[in-house]
Amino acid sequence: MTRKRVLSGIQSTADSLHLGNYLGAVRQWVALQNEYEVFYFIADLHTLTVETEPEVLRKRILATAAQLLAIGVDPKESAFFLQSHVPEHNQLGWVMECLTGFGEASRMTQFKDKSQKSGSDRTVVGLFTYPMLMAADILLYQADLVPVGEDQRQHLEITRDLAGRFNSRYGKTFQVPDAYILKSGSKIYDLQNPTAKMSKSSSSVAGIIEFMDAPEINAKKIKSAVTDTGREVVFDEKEKPGISNLLTIHSLLSGKPIPEIEREFAGKGYGDFKAEVAEVVVEFVRPIRAKALELLENEPALMAILHTGAAKARIVAESTLSRAYENLGLVR
């Protein structure tokens, strides 16, 4: 029996993953690896669309890899690798660029948002072609399912369009992948501004729980989270966004259903509740951080894991690329 394929990637844009990345996206990576054949990678080439100091980038790539392993990505059950270790991504990326209309690429909302923010002179061409590299990432592995956050939905759509277009022009070459978007409830909000998404780009540091922060810091952040007027611990996203966010976090990490937590805190105040959420978060993050730090201490061993992953990935990537080239009429 052949298992369906799952593929996903994450950029290495920060020193630490935050609770939003974890609960909204990478938590799924671990859950899916036993049931599917999985390919997980760090989109280090996509990260180049934002200029970063080489030393900082290097550190972030290794830290992201270590944290994903610490969270439970299993290098035996998956192909876990760096995008830049598999050159076929760029090679198929070019093919995807030659298949994409200029207008079509201009309509990508992430490109429009990001380029509007920085102005056209400071927007790099790589940001424009970002979705075509992402399409190549996915199509190279004939992925059936791609778990991503809601913000990546449009990139998945263009990937499906490109796969279909290639297949109808040049013969069936690529699996047309489905997006696997986590339901709401896994969207995590800023602790200081609970109507905005927890995000390293827009949240203040006090609003984000970072996996690589010391436990005391994270405990303090939860205890100082903005809560709402009133004193009952009940889930009500409209009237009580702060408490609702903390209930979501507690429930996803502890596995307890929200109504059960509400019952436990009936008649108690926000203070007791926040203390327990802090405990749940700290005890969840503690072993992950410790494991990541341990992995980072032995860089050669970490690199060996990534190289093994890239070798596994390349077997599939080479075969897909060579079929695509052949079907295009490139002489082999």
Q: Which residues are catalytic?
A: 114, 197, 200
Region binding ligand AMP by CB under 6 A among candidate stretches 117-125, 192-200, 277-285, 299-307: 192-200
Q: Which partner from the list ligand AMP, ligand TRP, none does 187 bind, CB cut-off 5 to 8 Å by kind?
A: ligand AMP
The half-sphere exposure of 7 on its side-chain side, counting CA atoms within 13 A, is 25
> For 6, phi and psi rounded to 5 degrees?
-120, 140
The half-sphere exposure of 261 on its side-chain side, counting CA atoms within 13 A, is 26
Q: Which partner from the list ligand AMP, ligand TRP, none does 21 bind, CB cut-off 5 to 8 Å by kind?
A: ligand AMP
Out of 160, 197, 274, 314, the only residue in the binding site for ligand AMP (CB under 6 A) is 197
Give the closest residue to 7 by CA, choosing from 322, 222, 317: 317
Q: Which partner from the list ligand TRP, ligand AMP, none does 97 bind, CB cut-off 5 to 8 Å by kind?
A: none
Cβ–Cβ < 8 Å for 27, 16 = no
The yes or no reply on residue 10 touching ligand AMP (CB under 6 A) is yes
Cβ–Cβ < 8 Å for 190, 203 = yes
The pair of structure tokens assigned to 217 is 């810091």
Q: Measured over all CA atoms, what is the biggest interatomic distance in the chain, rounded to whole angstroms?
A: 75
Question: In whole angstroms, how far apart are CA 233 and each of 103, 163, 180, 245, 286?
Answer: 49, 48, 32, 11, 26
Out of 5, 16, 24, 277, the only residue in the binding site for ligand AMP (CB under 6 A) is 24
- Tell me the residue nearest to ligand AMP as measured from the CB: 149
Q: Which partner from the list ligand TRP, ligand AMP, none does 198 bind, CB cut-off 5 to 8 Å by kind?
A: ligand AMP
The yes or no reply on residue 52 touching ligand AMP (CB under 6 A) is no
Out of 7, 63, 136, 188, the only residue in the binding site for ligand AMP (CB under 6 A) is 188
The yes or no reply on residue 25 touching ligand AMP (CB under 6 A) is yes
- DSSP-based helix, strand, coil % in the chain, nearest 5: 60, 10, 30
Q: Which partner from the list ligand TRP, ligand AMP, none does 138 bind, CB cut-off 5 to 8 Å by kind?
A: ligand TRP
Region binding ligand AMP by CB under 6 A among candidate stretches 8-16, 51-59, 72-80, 272-280: 8-16
Q: Which partner from the list ligand TRP, ligand AMP, none does 146 bind, CB cut-off 5 to 8 Å by kind?
A: ligand TRP
User: Given the rule CB under 6 A, which residues bind ligand TRP?
Assistant: 7-11, 43, 46, 134, 137-138, 146, 148, 152
Q: Is 79 strand, coil or helix?
A: strand
Question: In whole angstroms, how far apart are CA 224 and each of 22, 200, 265, 285?
Answer: 21, 18, 18, 18
Residue 240 one-letter amino acid: K
Binding mask 139-178 for ligand AMP (x = CB under 6 A): ---------xx-xx--------------------------
CA 287 to chain centre: 20
Minimum Å gap between C-beta 64 and ligand TRP is 11
The yes or no reply on residue 114 touching ligand AMP (CB under 6 A) is no
Question: Which residues, including other chains, have CB under 8 Å from residue 127's CB and lie 6 or more apart?
Answer: 49, 111, 114, 115
Minimum Å gap between C-beta 8 and ligand TRP is 5
Contact positions toward ligand AMP, by CB under 6 A? 10-11, 13, 20-21, 24-25, 148-149, 151-152, 186-188, 197-199
